[in-house]
Amino acid sequence: MIEWSEEDLMIRDAVRGWIDAEVRPSLDALESGELPPYDLLRSLYKTFGMDEMARSSFHARLAREREGGPADAEGSGDDRPGGGNAAMSMLPIIELCKVAPGLVSAMGVGLGLAAGTIMKRGTPEQKERWALPLLTMEKVGAWAITEPNSGSDAFGGMQATARRDGDEYVINGGKTFITNGPYADTIVFYCKLDDGAAPRDREILTFVLDRGMPGLEQSKPLRKMGLHSSPTGELFLDDVRAGADRLLASGSQGGRESARQNFVTERAGVAAMALGVIEECLKLSVEYAKTRELWGQRIGDFQLIQLKLAKMEVARLNVQNLVFRHIEMQRAGRAPTLAEASAMKLYAAQAASEVAQEAVQLFGGNGYMSEYRVEQLARDAKSFQIYAGTDEIQVTHIARDLLSR
C-alpha cells in the first residue's frame, strides 16, 4: 500500500466534515474538562454506522465460536472501530488526532483494551454481558493495570491482590493514570492472586468490574499536561467482592500474556495517532510560513524555516508508511510482534513530539499561545512517549528481540 484509495479518501473527507461540525466547536469545552468526550464519540459511531457494524461483527463472531468454528485471525481488526475495514479503523483515529488526540485515547482504551481483553479471554456469556456494550460505545470502558509504585514494572511491582473467599474473590488495591477511570461503566482490572507465593511470582488475574460495586471508588479526573479531552483518574478497591463469573480466563501464560497482547494493539495504534498530529502541525506550519512576514518577506522564504518544514514532511512520510504497513498486516490477518509494535511506537511517538515542538518554534511567540493550536498539539504529542510504555521500555523490547535471534 503506497497511498489511500479513492474509497479511503471518501471516508476521510466524511470524517473530516463530521469533525469540523462536531468536534472543533467543542474543543474549548473538551480542553477545559467541562465536556466529557463520550457523547461525541457515540455521535461519531452512530453517524457512520460504526455501532451497527460492531454489533453485526460481534454477533457473527460469537455465532462462529458457539458452533465450534475458528476465531477470527489475530490482527483482523474485527474488534476495532470499522470492524474488519482497516481504513475505517485508522482514518477516524488520524483525523481525530489532528484536533483532539485525547478523544482517540478515550475511545481506544474502551474498545481496543477493555473490550479487546474481554473478547480475547472471555466466555461467550462474558462477551455478551460486558464486551458488546463497550464495542458499540453504549458503555465506557477502562483498562486498569498501572499502579502508583509500579510504573514501567507493571507486573513485578503490582500490589493489587485478589484473595479467594469461598466461591468469590476479595480484591484490594489501587490503580492510577487510568484512562476513562472517572467515568468507566466497565473496568478490566489486573491484580495478583494472594496465595502466599513470593509477590513477584504470583499469578496475574483479570477481573471485569462494574461501576457502583461496593468498595470500588473512582476518582475525579486528574489534572495533567495534555490529552485534556481524555479523562484520566484513579481507582481504589477496598474489599471488593467479585464472583468467578467476573474472572477472565488466563490462557496458557496467564494474565501477563493477555496484557502483552494489548500492548501490541495499543502501541501499533500510536503510529496512526502520531500521523494525525504530524499532518496537522505540518499543515498549520505551512499556512503560517506563507502568511507571516518578517523584514518585508514571508518567513517561508527563509532557509531555516524551509528546513523545519522539510523535516516535518520527512517525518510525515515515514510515519504514514508505518501506518500503511500496519493496515496491510491487518488485511492479511496478521498482527505485529511486540517488538515490531514497540518499534512503530518508538519512532512515531518521537517524530510526533519533535514535529509539534518544531511547529511551536516556527510560530515563535504565537506558538506558545493556545489560540494557535500547535501549543495544544505539542502538549498532547508528548504523552505518546509515555503511555503504552515509555520510550525507554520500547527500546528494551526491541533490543531483547534482536538479541534473542
Just list the catalytic residues: 266
CB 232 within 8 A of CB 184: no
Closest CA to 289 of 370, 358, 375, 371: 358
Closest CA to 184 of 202, 164, 211: 211
Residue type present at position 228: H
Contacts of 234 (CB under 8 A, 6+ apart): 174, 175, 176, 178, 181, 218, 219, 222
Number of residues written out for the chain: 405
- The CA dihedral of 117, 111, 107, 345, to the nearest 10 degrees, is 60
Quickly list H helices, 218-302.
Answer: 254-291
Residue type present at position 374: V
CA distances from 209 to 106, 142, 206, 392, 395 (A): 18, 10, 10, 32, 33
Residue 69 is classified by DSSP as: P
Q: Which three cell numbers stand for residue 317?
A: 512520510
